[in-house]
Structure 1
């Protein structure tokens, strides 16, 4: 047994798929299967149950995963402690941050300028994607931090709620020119332009129990907006995703009521890998950047105070 085998096992267990783990690790699936077969032979137990949609941990596999988390956390802490101890030039390192599309609503040039001025040894690699992908990349270790919409964190991720963001009905200009609101019960009247599952928007729409609603599944924010502009249907997105298109007169963003749809925006990190000093710095600046943009009115959202951090924020009645 070696550290590589343990990391491979954790990736497969967390992603519940040999295929996904192979893609993230850039290793062939047969090679992963061989590693796990050797590991099971050495431990003299079965770690996974395979099925048509991936794998599930056995009871021994779940117990082994807990021990692996502890081991990897200790290993990462040891490496980080000695890296800081031997560094004589201040905090250095590259921090990978996952941001939902479009990422421009989460960070500004001011954020990057402040980072370069205050911490010249720290650099940021921004990865843009839909929440489901960012969630997997964060779990796999490809990202240090990620901004996610109400993730299922469990034991693998730690999340800090920052704000509540309302979702809007995005329609072609002229379709609802005489109305300022969109009743949720009307959403099923036209095709809905939504991301593929799993996605929190799909969960929220499913909760409305719209009967026989036609869905056009698109995993591109820009294409969702374009289809709405062309009159194909109604997209459901936060206003921050469509500000540019609304200002250009391409689409309308109408608040959804009865009920309103909203989600919490959270900044997340791994629960089993300690943040590096560089990542801790970026986390603080990212939190400060998002908060200041909301307070300045550059982002239509509601900040979550300390008393509201337990609120789920996913659905609320319109005021």
Structure 2
């Protein structure tokens, strides 16, 4: 799901025609239709049905379009704040290198496509606790986390990402794997002594699994390179599509499916108007995804 698709849905709902919506947005009608159909496939829901020579929202489409309008209003408010120069100091985001690449940058890229350029400084963190500490101390405006811990900070849910097994081709595994089937699969994992490795070790122990550790690295780019070279598989979650060539990797979900909850944290009341609009945009978009 991307912000442009939301504009396509709202314009189509308001005009009652994909042709008219495309004309109002100055895009080709086939491109708009493809984007809407792709969104319907992703959501596994029908947003529009044919109505005479045009289209009409389904009940599910009505609910989606209402939420989409709220997202777009938040983005427009953020753009207005940005245009008036209400930026103040750079937005400082604390997050792990993984979440900087897989969540923070896609969000900033999507906003830039909508005409909002957010001057941002990234602070790398090794744990969720470090993210919270940086935000609580005022050294970061916003923290992005993939673990939920007890905190006095304000928490904005950002949805969830499915956890998947990324492997080289040729492994004798089903399309969806059970945790028991991980036994014997060479894995690339974080290094021993890190918080993330400790969390994974606890997870494996709770599942009764002794993982086969092929490579240890704290750099997520090394994980994918290990898969591409056929050395190991990795357990991966991301809100954006993998950029690796699909013929060189195999992506499997787990059975039952597993998800990683994502959230943003900030000091309540300690944000500029522009940052308030940014947080509201994140919150509205997360509500849309959850809905």
TM range (shorter): 0.5 to 0.7
Q: Map of 1:188-199 to 2, 5 A cutoff?
A: 188-196=183-191, 197-199=194-196
Q: Is the 8 A contact 2:204 2:211 kept in 1?
A: no
CA distance in 1, matches of 2:182, 2:137: 36
Q: SS at the partner of 2:183?
A: helix
In structure 1, stretches of 5+ residues that fail to align are 1-88, 296-302, 306-319
Give 2:174's aligned residue: 179
C-alpha deviations, 1:66-88, integer Å up to 9, x for none? xxxxxxxxxxxxxxxxxxxxxxx
Q: Is the 8 A contact 1:187 1:234 kept in 2?
A: no
Q: Is the 8 A contact 2:91 2:121 kept in 1?
A: yes
In structure 2, stretches of 5+ residues that fail to align are 1-83
Give 2:116's aligned residue: 116
Q: Is the 8 A contact 2:157 2:262 kept in 1?
A: yes
CA distance in 1, matches of 2:100, 2:241: 10
CA distance in 2, matches of 1:109, 1:154: 29
CA distance in 2, matches of 1:204, 1:159: 25
C-alpha deviations, 1:4-54, integer Å up to 9, x for none? xxxxxxxxxxxxxxxxxxxxxxxxxxxxxxxxxxxxxxxxxxxxxxxxxxx
- Structure-2 change in CA distance of 1:194 and 1:241 (3 Å): farther
C-alpha deviations, 1:194-243, integer Å up to 9, x for none? 22431255554443231364363321111111112223222101154661
- Correspondence for 2:260 among 257, 260, 263: 263
Q: Is the 8 A contact 1:169 1:237 kept in 2?
A: yes
Q: Map of 1:31-46 to 2, 5 A cutoff?
A: none
Q: Map of 1:57-206 to 2, 5 A cutoff?
A: 91-93=86-88, 94-99=90-95, 100-103=99-102, 106-114=106-114, 116=116, 123-127=119-123, 131-132=127-128, 134-155=131-152, 157-176=153-172, 179-196=174-191, 197-199=194-196, 201=200, 203-206=202-205
Aligned residues: 198
Please report how far the alpha carbon of residue 244 of structure 1 lies from its aligned counterpart in structure 2 after TM superposition: 0.7
| Alignment RMSD | 3.2
CA distance in 2, matches of 1:238, 1:149: 10
C-alpha deviations, 1:229-279, integer Å up to 9, x for none? 22322210115466111x44331111112x4332211111136x7223232
- Structure-2 change in CA distance of 1:107 and 1:277 (3 Å): same
Q: Is the 8 A contact 1:169 1:234 kept in 2?
A: yes
Q: Is the 8 A contact 2:185 2:233 kept in 1?
A: yes
TM-score (norm 1): 0.52
- Correspondence for 1:281 among 269, 277, 281: 277
Q: Is the 8 A contact 2:158 2:282 kept in 1?
A: no
Q: SS at the partner of 1:106?
A: helix
